[in-house]
Amino acid sequence: MYKIKMPRFGLTMESGFIEKWFKKENDEVKEGEPLLEVSSEKITNEVVSPASGVLLKIMGKEKEEIKVGTVIAFIGKEGEKIKEIKKEKVKLEKITKTTEMKETPSVKVAPPEREGRIKASPLAKKIAREKNIDLFQIKGTGPDGRIEKKDVLAYLSSVSEKKVEFKIEKLSGLRRTIAERLSKSFHTAVTLTNTTEVDFTEFKKLMKENKVSITSGLVFVLSRALKELSKFNAHFDSDKKELIIFEDINIGIAVDTEKGLMVPVIRNTDKSSLKTINDQIKKLAGEARNGTISEDDIKGSTFTLTNLGMMRTEIFTPVINPPEVAILGIGRIIKKPAIVDEDKISIRELAYLSLSYDHRIIDGADAAKFLGKLAELIENPVLK
């Protein structure tokens, strides 16, 4: 008999989130066959069966987070008894708990005492006090409009709980990590965003001639700007109050996947050719989308680029990826009339650059210089 335990994908991984099982209890499994999908804080991986046999028992259910090393299933021979199942059930530590949502009755809270007496039986008053009901809302059916017990009960019935159709969707491990990181960024960094419109006409032509993506070209010019203005290529340690400025430029590229946002890291971009950058982005973005990217490939970014140019978004406020100190957002490129050569009007391809930065570290003037440098490199592109 084989015990399937929650695997550890990285040195810092403490728990895993079971996304889905590919097999059901009593299904036959083969050695090396995908058994389940598990996500850690950063990546999602398939776990393969260590042996051939029958999946006798599943201990860890889908959408549960379980500590590394905990038994989540047993594989054995058909009909084989599992002697240790009770012991393993006790050891199974479920981090997430199922919560139930319920709509409460819309009973009005009794307001402060009003002028005038209200006629009601002692029992009707008692029920109203217990249920926090405003008797002025109830029409009595007793003598002279006196409110009786039956009137209060009828009112309660009219505002009684209604059944609501809903479903509970637990956040995946990756989605929870995104939520935690965004919350940390929002509550720690003092974020400001500078925006400028840039002419991409010549830049687009050059990228097309070299058969590379706009994102690849942006990484190329961004690396040159970061080399010159190195304060942006940094991490801020808020505990030690230290700014760590890096020599290497490793740019994270935000990639939208079915499971949420991932940020593959393109390393040493200032030392790479445009084609090498393009090849790396294609490879890592593909691996991020199909779930085969390694944890090492989503660590160690010094600056992040997020490009929404392929979507209907012109201007947005990107959220800093802590502990980085800035992030660049690119909106979609649109053809617009623009003034060129002093007073001539021409149709140009324009887009907005949005630079979000931690104002604890970077001043607005420095952010403006950085955007100005980027605009210069984009509007007058050279592949050096």
Cα–Cα distance for residue pair 343/204, rounded to 1 Å: 24
Q: Is 155 left (phi over 0), alpha (psi -120 to 50) or beta?
A: alpha
Which one from 267, 359, 360, 373 is the annotated catalytic residue?
359
DSSP state at residue 83? T
Strand partners, 352: 197
- CA–CA distance, 300 with 131 (Å, rounded to integer): 58
Is residue 359 annotated as a catalytic residue, yes or no? yes
Please, which residues have CB within 8 angstroms of residue 64's CB and are 6 or more apart in sequence? 17, 18, 94, 95, 96
Residue 326 CA from chain centroid, whole number = 18
CB 39 within 8 A of CB 6: no
Query: Count of CB atoms within 10 A of residue 230's CB?
Result: 14
Sign of the CA dihedral 239, 243, 245, 251? positive
Helices (H), 189-311: 201-209, 214-228, 274-290
User: DSSP per residue over 340-362, as a string?
Assistant: ETTTEEEEEEEEEEEEEEETTT-
**In contact, 92 and 6? CB cutoff 8 Å:** no
Which residue's entry shows tokens 């002697």? 83
At residue 300, what are phi and psi to the nearest 5 degrees?
85, 20
Catalytic residue numbers, as ranges = 359
